[in-house]
Amino acid sequence: MTTHPTTWFITGSSRGFGRSLATAALAAGDTVVASARKPEQLADLVAEYGERILPVALDVTDAAAAEAALAAGLEKFGRIDVVVNNAGYANLSPVETTDEADFRRQFDTNFWGVYNVSRAALPLLKKQGAGIVIQFSSIGGRVGQNPGLGSYQAAKFAVDGFTRVLAAETAPFGIRYVVVEPGGFATDWAGSSMRVEEVTDDYRQTVGVLVDRVRSGGTAQGDPDRAAEILVRMVHAGNLPTHLVLGAGAVQMALDYSRSQIAEADAWQAVSASADFGADHPVELPEVPKAPDHAG
C-alpha cells in the first residue's frame, strides 16, 4: 500500500483560520495548495516549507480561477485530498439600510465562492474516488440571530443546505463533508476586514449592540491555531462529523437552539399533522408566549 502526505487545498490562506490551518497541515508533514487574493503574503511559509506549499492567487468569486487553482494544485502534487472553503468576510449593518450591492458582494464571496470551489473540485475528487470537503460556516449559520449580519448569516445558512445536498448527491463517490461552525475566535473577522456602518436610532437596541461589541475590540475566547490542529488531527484520523461546532460558547448556543426547536416542533405537532387530508381538523392551537409590545 502506497502512503502519501495529505494534500490540502485551502482558500483564504493568508490570514485567520486559513493561515492557521495551512500552518498546522504543513507542521504535520502534509502538503498545501494555499490560495489567497494576495499569495505573496505566504512568503514566510514558502521560505520555511519550500516545495510542500504552493501559493496560488484566487478570488473565489471567479469560477474559472477556482478551476485553474485546483488544476495547478493537482499538477504540482498529483492529487487533492482535502478542499477547505474558508474564504469569507462580513460587513455590519441593518438589512434595511445595507447597500444592495454590498449585500450581494458579501453573498458572492460567502456562498458563491463556496459553490465555485466545491463545484470545480468535484470532478477531481470523483476521479480519485475519495476526498474531504470542509466548509467553514459559523455558529450563526446554525442559529442566526445576530442583528447586522444579514448577508453573512444568510450565506452561511445557504452553505449548510448546499453541503447537505452535495453530501447526498456524491455519497457513492467516496466524498465526505464537514461543516465547521465556529463561535468567536481571535481572527481578523471583526477587525480590518469588516466594515461597520453607522446605525440609525431605530436600530440602536438591536444592531447597535453588536456594533458596540465589535468596536470595543473585546477578547475572543477561540484560538484559531487550536482549531486548526483539531481539524488536521480529525482528517488524519478519518473520524469526521457532519458538523463541527468550535468553541464552548458556540456549543452552548447550538444545544440551546436545538432544544428550543425540538420543544417548538413538539408543541405544534398536532397542528402540523392536521394539514394532511383525513387528519383531525381543526385542532386547538398551543399557547405561545406573546412578543413584547414595543409600540410607543
Supply the range of the domain harboring residue 170: 7-246
Q: What is the pLDDT of residues 217-240, one digit of tens each?
A: 666 788 999 999 999 999 999 999
Residue 114 lies in a domain: yes
Would 261 be classed as within a structural domain? yes
In a domain, 1, yes or no: no
Same domain, 157 and 263: no
Q: Which positions are annotated as active-site residues?
A: 137, 152, 156
Residues 272 and 215 in one domain: no
* Burial category of 142 from C-beta neighbours within 10 Å (exposed 0-12, middle 13-18, buried 19 and up): buried
Banded pLDDT at 296 (limits 50, 70, 90) = very low
- Counted domains in the chain: 2
Average of per-residue pLDDT values in the chain = 92
58 and 205, same structural domain?
A: yes
Q: Cis bond leading into 55, ω under 30°?
A: no
Same-domain status, 117 and 259: no
pLDDT band for position 129 (cuts 50, 70, 90):
very high
* Model confidence, pTM: 0.91
Q: CB of 104 within 8 A of CB of 57?
A: no
Q: Are residues 265 and 187 in the same domain?
A: no
Same structural domain, 272 and 211: no
What Cα–Cα distance (Å) separates residue 104 from each residue in 154, 155, 172, 180, 194?
11, 10, 34, 23, 15
Residues 82, 6 contacting (CB under 8 angstroms):
yes
| 128/264 same-domain check | no
